[in-house]
Amino acid sequence: MKLGNLFTSIKTESKPQTPLKKAETIAAPQSSPAQAQATDRVELSGNSMDVRKMKGILLNTPDVRLEKVQALQEQINNGAYQVDPYKVADKMLTALLSEQVPVI
């Protein structure tokens, strides 16, 4: 399954940068109790959470849809599989005009 245009639709410029997850704070050594406690923290943007969510979806999506492959094999074996030449020509011309590799 080809997912070439999946990431082109993400618009990262328009989303507000809000922290979604914070790491535990680690206290820095203090020289005196009167000083403010310095901490380290990590904030993940909404964009990074979107990418993580998409990665999870892609990892759970099978590369091959077995039921579709089996149905096509059955049609080929029975002689019922027909190729629509107009669809093939349309995809070839679309790919040629958009300078992309045809997806068949």
How far is 22 from 17, CA to CA, in rounded Å? 14
- Residues 6 or more apart whose CB falls under 8 angstroms from that of 4 comprise 103
Report whether 44 contacts 20 (CB < 8 A).
yes
How far is 34 from 57, CA to CA, in rounded Å? 49
Mean pLDDT lowest among 47-51, 64-68, 95-99: 95-99
pLDDT above 50: residue 101: yes
Helices (H) and strands (E) in the chain, counts: 3, 0
Question: What predicted TM-score, i.e. pTM, was given to this entire model?
Answer: 0.34
pLDDT above 90 as % of the chain: 32
Residue 7 burial (CB count, 10 A):
9
- Residues 6 or more apart whose CB falls under 8 angstroms from that of 29 comprise none
For the chain, give every domain's residue range.
1-63, 64-104
Q: Compute the average pLDDT of residues 81-91.
A: 94
In terms of pLDDT, which residue wins out, 69 or 19?
69
pLDDT above 60: residue 27: no
Report pLDDT for 2.
52
